[in-house]
Structure 1
Amino acid sequence: MRNPHNEPLGSDRTGKRGGGKEAPERRCILTGRTACRDELLRLAISPPNAQGICDVLPDALARAPGRGAWIGVSRAELQQAMDKGQLKAALARSFRDGKLAIPQDLPVLLENALRRAVLERLGLEMRAGRLILGSDRISNEARMGKVAALYHASDASEDGSKKLDQAWRVGMDAEGSGETGDRLPLDRMALSVALGRDNVVHLALADRASAERVLIPLRRLQAFLGAGDEAGNSSDGAAGEAAHEPATTD
């Protein structure tokens, strides 16, 4: 996602949300890295069952009640941490009062949950009348500087995307900047099904607050898929560094 000309979004990598408020921080149990909670992924820990076993489940929206743990790694790094027993060990250090059941397909479950979170957020914005669909309409709105965020499906054509990107730069008075819309990790079929429209390839948001709301789940999904590992850490080396400190849980 890109920002309107001269009006940067509040929800950015600095750990601030809209209005300049500091977002709470959490610490990854695998790497020990502390970051804004909007950048990390939450694993919910269920209450123990009759056998005293707690399930570890993805919490894509970070809203599930009860206890949880935070991770800030990609899908490949999570799988590696599971294969090496690092995730199990990190969770055991944080939750000593029960046995934990970690699904073998946790990376798949987490990715699917993150994808649903992005699609559901876009659906909510559309039902509120804040989503702009259709190349012609997006182009017109973009040239008038009325687009806060521009998105392209993963299988959108380069030509169509470039034309809308150019219209957006014109509206932002940013020609020559190279600014482009965000290519989503979602194809046109997934977008069309979620939004109940045919052939959704490009979409945009005019409302700045809507763009911020979409940014949080989208950023989590992109990070999990490995788009821009800013930490520069893998779960292999960093998990050992975090092993001697209690992780941030909630």
Structure 2
Amino acid sequence: MSRGGRDKDRSEPERRCIATGVSGPTAPLVRFVVGPEGDVFPDVAEKAPGRGMWVSADRAAIDLAVKKNLFSRSAKAPVKAPADLSDRVEALLTRRLQDALALARKAGLAHMGFDTVHRRLKSAPVAALIEASDGSEAQRAKLRPMAGEAPVISCLSREELGLAFRRDNVIHAALDAGGVTKTVLREASRLNGLRGHEAVSID
């Protein structure tokens, strides 16, 4: 069983974080590879060729890997990791989450607006509640209890959410279950880690 008490999916690959030493599924990790010039760069899509090095999606873990030269140790060769690597990862994960939310919106799985979200929460369970990190705390306090056990995505600002929904800003949204939902939850979980927000369950 995993630390959360659930049975592991034995078909799910496991990797070891080079900063914390903890092994587990790749979902909460970020993959890094070394380019032709010996530079370390994040492969958040996990498609780049070469041997991958994995670090927890956590700013402190990435900063530690840079500071302690853990990428060179893992690569068994001198490599160059930029000091702002965690900032670069955060920017890439922000864009990936926005893109995933945009796909969910186009598929009719993501719905925005306080009144719309309020109605959906009253009528049926949602896959996730989405709230802007700089939104009204009073309104967030009204919606959160209605979401029950649904994960809460709160790592994007109202402007960042607005880009995903093609609006100037968005404060409240809800996500239904569907084809792209797991992708949204995974990217939200990783970005939450970079920004120090509460973990998002992707089960």
Range into which the TM-score falls when normalised by the shorter chain:
0.7 to 0.9
Aligned partners of 1:58 and 1:110 also within 8 Å:
yes
Shift of residue 217 of structure 1? Answer: 1.1
Among candidates 170, 190, 199, match of residue 200 of structure 1? 170
Match of 1:64 among 48, 60, 71: 48
CA distance in 2, matches of 1:59, 1:106: 12
User: Which SS does the other structure have where 2:126 is aligned?
Assistant: coil
Paired position in structure 2 for 1:41 = 30
Match of 1:94 among 66, 74, 79: 74
Residue 82 in 1 paired to residue 62 in 2? no
Q: Structure 1 residues 180 and 163 mapped into 2: Cα distance closer, same or farther (>3 Å)?
A: farther
C-alpha distance in 1 between matches for 2:198 and 2:175:
23
The change in CA–CA distance for 1:41 and 1:15 in structure 2 (over 3 A counts) is farther
| 1:123 Cα deviation after fit | 1.2
8 Å CA contact retained: 2:129, 2:175: yes
Query: Per-residue CA shift, 1:15-61, capped at 9, x if unaligned?
Result: 879xx674210001122210110111111222x2xxxx322111223
Following superposition, the deviation at residue 124 of structure 1 comes to: 1.4
CA shift digits 1:122-155 (9 cap, x unpaired)? 1111122211111111111111114221111001
Q: Is the 8 A contact 2:155 2:197 kept in 1?
A: no
Q: Which runs of 4+ in 1 moved over 6 A?
A: 14-17
State the shift of 1:92 in Å. 2.4
Amino acid at match of 1:218: A
Give the counterpart letter for 1:61 in structure 2.
A
Q: Which has the larger radius of gyration?
A: 1
Tell me how far 1:14 sits from its aligned partner. 6.4
Does residue 165 in structure 1 map to residue 149 in structure 2? no
Report the equivalent of 1:145.
Answer: 124
The verdict on how the C-alpha distance between 1:130 and 1:104 changes in structure 2, with shifts beyond 3 A counting, is: same
**1:154 paired residue number:** 133
Aligned to 2:24, the other structure's residue is in SS state: strand
Q: Distance in 2 between matches of 1:16 and 1:22?
A: 12
Aligned pair count reads: 197
Identity of aligned residues (%): 34
**Maintained 8 Å contact 2:97/2:184:** yes
Deviations 1:46-104 (Å, cap 9, x if unpaired)? Answer: 2x2xxxx3221112232323322001262134324423xx2x2x3223323x5422222
Q: How does 1:195-234 map to 2 (within 5 A)?
A: 195-227=165-197
- Kept after mapping to 2: 8 A contact 1:42/1:70: yes
Instruction: Give the letter for the 1:221 counterpart.
Output: L
TM-score normalised by structure 1 residue count: 0.69
Structure 2 counterpart of 1:224, one-letter code = L
TM-score by length of 2: 0.83
Over aligned residue pairs, what C-alpha RMSD do you find?
2.7
Shift of 1:116: 1.4
* Residues 1:66 and 1:77: Cα distance change in structure 2 (over 3 Å): closer
How many angstroms apart in 1 are the aligned matches of 2:57 and 2:176?
31
Gaps of 5+ in 1: 1-11, 170-178, 230-250
- The structural deviation recorded for 1:207 is 1.6
